[in-house]
Amino acid sequence: MNPYLKILRPFNGLMAIITLILVGIIEKNIDLPLLIGILAVFLATGGGNVINDFYDYKIDSINRQERPIPSGKISLRNAKNYGLSLFIISIILGIIISVMVGSYLPCVLIVLNCLVLYYYARNLKKLPLIGNVAVAYLTGSCFIFGGLILGKIYVPLILSFFAFMMTLSREIVKDMEDIKGDKLENLNTFPIKYGLKSSSILASIFILIPTFISPVLYFTKIFNIYYLILLLIAIIIFIVAAYKIQMNHNSDSSNKVSKLIKIGMFITFIAFAFGSIKI
């Protein structure tokens, strides 16, 4: 793979794109501004990944030498310029979207998220829980961005809450998984500062709150019965994940729980899409 494409981590960008497509499906409106928004989100996410690799090059030169910067395929200077250029292009697209929809809010959100992505890479990820919250916010904000573009904010705002909580839980679990390596790098993650037990409790809280609240979206008639059927699968997965992380805090267990949460999130997103079908 071309190093300038690889450093974008296209799969991460794809996940962000899926959230906007979901908003379009739910609101039954995938128009040109939303398509431009998909491109803007992909570029902003890619820019964030590039800047993250720029600031992590010392760690990656030890742990991930195959990545574009430590392998010498992309220089530090080119990486920084590349990342900032992607941010600028995404902001320009945000301006175009705002002009098209007659609202400055989509552009404001793009600018804000580019700043969060930059400062996350430079500072925030080193702070216990703050970095986790930043990542969770960025995930949830994709739903809000889609809603702002389409002028339909109520349902996307609700969905952003669920995405925020599920992502926050998974980010804490991932920090539990990486605790040994993070200690060697003198990082100050939540598990390092407050311990694995406290981290497992917090992760379980953040995953169980949306798990038990989510059926309300069916009973309030926001989504149909298909949503509830698919959601039940996700609920079981999330409960199993919360149980497992309480029973065992080691790296292998945390890795499995992280994967379970990711699968549960994917099924939940599918439930959102099918739940919006008129029956």
Among 129, 152, 175, the domain boundary falls at: 152
Tokens of 176: 């539990």
Q: Read out DSSP for 160-196?
A: HHHHHHHHHHHHHHHHHHTHHHHHHTT---HHHHH-H
Whether residue 184 is found in the same domain as residue 119: no
Whether residue 125 is found in the same domain as residue 223: no
Looking up tokens 């530090």 gives 76
Find the helix or strand (DSSP H, E) in which 223 lies: none
Question: Residue 27 and residue 32: Cα distance in Å, rounded?
Answer: 14
Neighbours of 66 (CB within 10 A): 9
pLDDT confidence of residue 157 = 93
Could you give the number of structural domains in the chain?
A: 2
Tokens of 141: 């904000």
CATH (domain of 238): 1.20.120.1780
Question: Residue 37 and residue 18: Cα distance in Å, rounded?
Answer: 12
pLDDT confidence of residue 43 = 96
For 239, the 3-state DSSP assignment is: helix
How many Cα atoms within 13 Å fall on the side-chain side of residue 205?
Answer: 6
Whether residue 227 is found in the same domain as residue 137: no
User: CA of 64: how far to CAs of 69, 88, 123, 174, in Å?
Assistant: 10, 28, 21, 17
pLDDT confidence of residue 133 = 96
Question: Residue 83 and residue 44: Cα distance in Å, rounded?
Answer: 9
For 68, the 3-state DSSP assignment is: coil
Whether residue 25 is found in the same domain as residue 107: yes
Among 110, 128, 152, the domain boundary falls at: 152
Q: Note down the domain range covering 223.
A: 155-279
Whether residue 100 is found in the same domain as residue 184: no
In order along its 279 residues, the chain shows pLDDT tens digits of: 788 888 888 887 888 888 999 999 888 888 999 999 999 999 999 999 999 888 877 776 766 677 888 878 888 888 899 999 999 999 999 999 999 999 999 999 999 999 999 999 988 888 889 999 999 999 999 999 999 999 989 999 999 999 999 999 999 998 898 887 777 767 788 998 888 899 999 999 999 999 999 999 999 888 999 999 999 999 999 999 999 999 887 777 888 999 999 999 999 989 998 998 876
Whether residue 59 is found in the same domain as residue 81: yes
Whether residue 146 is found in the same domain as residue 268: no
pLDDT confidence of residue 62 = 66
What pTM value is reported for the model?
A: 0.90
* Packing angle of the helix pair 105-122, 130-150 (nearest 10 deg): 160
Tokens of 56: 């992590």
Whether residue 16 is found in the same domain as residue 116: yes
Whether residue 145 is found in the same domain as residue 243: no
For 102, which DSSP code? T
Whether residue 103 is found in the same domain as residue 142: yes
pLDDT confidence of residue 99 = 97
Q: For 101, phi and psi rounded to 5 degrees? A: -95, -5
Among 152, 168, 185, the domain boundary falls at: 152
CA 163, 210, 165: angle at the middle one, nearest 5?
Answer: 40
Question: Residue 273 and residue 26: Cα distance in Å, rounded?
Answer: 6
Contact 171, 203 (CB under 8 A): no
Question: Residue 228 and residue 42: Cα distance in Å, rounded?
Answer: 30
Looking up tokens 């928004």 gives 37
Tokens of 245: 């992380």
Whether residue 210 is found in the same domain as residue 108: no
